[in-house]
């Protein structure tokens, strides 16, 4: 087999062609941490040098309920990012239902780090892949403003893994 990259491009073989067909993580998007005191947590991370990206904002409705698997939920979130850019930190404080600390299979409204989020090229293929490996969806696949589709998967050790695909 040739090691010339132009050969792979011309015949459709090689890593570039293979990755175009195989579902996989495209980028590391954000880490979500659920906290009881959103103001204090925001101040702490801002004090470390993270930039607050806008005001805290409420999130509720069908999209949130579907993705996290908790009906009638409501949260406030603040997004922060390092000055160099890249992956963001999402701080979230649930106003409905109230937070619920500590369990072996935590839901999205429990205190602490509760999800690691990845952007993927093909959400349906990734969901099929992780469920075939024995992991389960927590809620369902939600769509937000015709721009993104997302699902929460219960990963190893109870970790919530958010898989998202841009659609707009």
Containing domain of residue 109, as a range?
Answer: 25-166
C-alpha radius of gyration, the chain, whole number: 18
For 59-95, the pLDDT digits (tens) are 999 999 999 999 999 999 999 998 888 999 999 999 9
Instruction: Please give the structure tokens belonging to residue 85.
Output: 């850019």
Residue at 7 is within a domain: no
CATH of the domain at 135: 3.10.180.10
Closest to 111 measured CA to CA, from 48, 164, 35 = 35
Residue at 11 is within a domain: no
For 4-20, the pLDDT digits (tens) are 444 444 444 555 555 56
Residue at 5 is within a domain: no
Closest to 115 measured CA to CA, from 53, 63, 52, 69 = 69
Q: How far apart, in whole angstroms, are the C-alpha atoms of residue 119 and residue 163? A: 6
Residue at 32 is within a domain: yes
CB neighbour list of residue 33: distance below 8 Å, 6 or more residues apart: 41, 89, 90, 91, 92, 112, 113, 114
The number of distinct structural domains making up the chain is: 1
Closest to 164 measured CA to CA, from 43, 25, 59 = 25
What percentage of the chain carries pLDDT values higher than 90?
45
What percentage of the chain carries pLDDT values higher than 70?
83
Collapsing DSSP to helix, strand or coil, 103 comes out as coil
Residue at 18 is within a domain: no
Residue at 1 is within a domain: no
For 22-49, the pLDDT digits (tens) are 889 999 899 988 888 899 889 888 877 7
Burial zone of 159 (CB within 10 Å; 0-12 exposed, 13-18 middle, 19+ buried) = middle
Residue at 109 is within a domain: yes
Residue at 2 is within a domain: no
């Amino acid at each position: 087999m040739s090691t010339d990259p132009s050969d792979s491009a011309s015949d459709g073989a090689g890593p570039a062609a293979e990755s175009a067909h195989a579902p996989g993580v495209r980028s590391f998007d954000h880490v979500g941490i659920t906290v009881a005191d959103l103001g204090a947590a925001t101040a702490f991370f801002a004090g470390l040098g993270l930039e607050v990206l806008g005001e805290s904002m409420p999130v509720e409705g069908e999209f949130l309920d579907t993705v996290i698997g908790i009906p009638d939920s409501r949260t406030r979130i603040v997004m922060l990012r390092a000055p160099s850019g890249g992956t963001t930190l999402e701080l979230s404080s649930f106003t409905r239902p109230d937070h619920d600390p500590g369990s072996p299979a935590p839901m999205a409204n429990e205190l602490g780090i509760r999800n690691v989020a990845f952007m993927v090229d093909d959400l349906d293929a990734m969901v099929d892949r992780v469920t075939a490996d024995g992991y389960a969806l927590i809620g369902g696949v939600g769509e937000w403003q015709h721009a993104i589709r997302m699902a929460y998967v219960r990963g190893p050790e109870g970790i919530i893994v958010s898989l998202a695909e841009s659609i707009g």
